[in-house]
Amino acid sequence: QRLGFAKLGQHRSKAVSLLGQGDIKIVLNAEPYSFAHSFFEAHGPSLCATALRVDDGHQSLERARAFKGQPYRGLVGPNEREIPSVRAPDGSLIYLVDNASPGDSIYDSDFVVDTQAVAKGGLQRIDHMAMALPADSLDSWVLFYKSILDFEADDEVVLPDPYGLVKSRALRSRCSTVRLPLNISENRNTAISHALSSYRGSGVHHIAFSCEDIFAEVSRAKEAGVPLLDIPLNYYDDLAARFDFDEEFLSELAYYNVLYDRDAQGGELFHVYTDAFDGRFFFEILQRKNGYVGYGAANVPVRLAAM
């Protein structure tokens, strides 16, 4: 909630809360004896399920069946909507939620919605969700998303970690609104490997939220007490050598701990990170300008050194 999310509603029959901000919806599941409870017992605080909006959930589920996907059916209470879902390679769930007209969504049917709730932040949508995977599972995840969900895969890139190399390959939906960078490492001391140890398996590495004004959003987060990652000042000395920035702009970047990247086409990325939650995942706040489509790979060594 310090990130500006508001509690939008409470499930009609379960210990499940709905948080939201912009187009972002986060469901916190504390229901005992549920799938979420079992997943928590196995992995600790983690992401047990992801929901994807699709044109036809049941048609998408049939595609998953055709490609040998494993459907999942949980307990559904009276007057609650049954959502088609399939198991991801790590055993978590992917819900296939129909695009719905206003007032007819899963949130309207299954939650008591607080119509007076107002989010305090300016976060707009989930930009991407990065995963930490065992070194031998990357191909199976790529195949799963390409075959069952018709995603596309970008080329593999190699990222430096102070303790080894990390291989990353991003998946994205055909409309590019869903992006999933997948990360593996064969070295036991990298940040990815530490995440795997914490989760006792695959797990979410970080979730990135987009905004329209990075400085306004970070200012609000700082005032709310969000623990943001401190970036060393020599990083901004390096930026001054690489880009023609004036001192005032560099000072603003440094004050807010904002990282910066620019691609060959002039696209720009401004982004900050929170500290890790319970030594596991963390959040990223970012702003893209002029068609930037990457993930700030040039800044990965800086982030890892600062964590």
> What are 226-253's pLDDT values in tens digits?
999 999 999 999 999 999 899 999 999 9
pLDDT score of 1 more than 90: no
Please report, rounded to a whole number, the percentage of residues in the chain having pLDDT higher than 70: 99
Let me know the angle formed at the C-alpha of 36 by 207 and 17, rounded to the nearest 5 degrees.
Answer: 70
Regarding predicted confidence, which is higher, 29 or 77?
Answer: 29
Q: Is 67 exposed, middle or buried (0-12, 13-18, 19+ CB in 10 A)?
A: middle
Please report, rounded to a whole number, the percentage of residues in the chain having pLDDT higher than 90: 81
pLDDT band for 101, please (50, 70, 90 cuts).
low
C-alpha count within 13 angstroms, C-beta hemisphere, residue 103: 0
Tell me the two tokens of residue 154: 């970008």
Dist CA 105 CA 109 (whole Å): 7
Under a CB-based contact definition with an 8 Å cutoff, are residues 46 and 204 in contact? yes
Q: Give the residue among 176, 168, 177 at the shortest CA–CA distance from 133.
A: 168
pLDDT band for 223, please (50, 70, 90 cuts).
very high
Distance linking the first and last C-alpha atoms of the chain: 22
pLDDT score of 103 more than 70: no
Tell me the two tokens of residue 91: 């055993």
Rounded mean pLDDT of the chain? 93
Specify the 3-state DSSP secondary structure of 221: helix
C-alpha count within 13 angstroms, C-beta hemisphere, residue 96: 22
pLDDT of residue 82: 86
pLDDT band for 81, please (50, 70, 90 cuts).
confident
pLDDT of residue 102: 67
pLDDT score of 77 more than 90: no
Q: Write the DSSP assignment of 111-158 as a string of letters.
A: EEE-TT----S---EEEEEEEE--TT-HHHHHHHHHHHS--EEPPPEE
Enumerate domains of the chain plus CATH numbers: 6-113 (3.10.180.10), 125-306 (3.10.180.10)
> What are 28-72's pLDDT values in tens digits?
999 999 999 999 999 999 999 999 999 999 999 999 999 999 999
> What are 259-284's pLDDT values in tens digits?
999 999 999 999 999 998 887 899 99
Q: What HEC string does 39-71 produce?
A: HHHHHCCCCCEEEEEECCHHHHHHHHHHCCCCE
pTM: 0.94
> What are 106-153's pLDDT values in tens digits?
888 889 999 899 998 899 999 999 999 999 999 999 999 999 999 999
pLDDT score of 80 more than 80: no
pLDDT of residue 39: 95
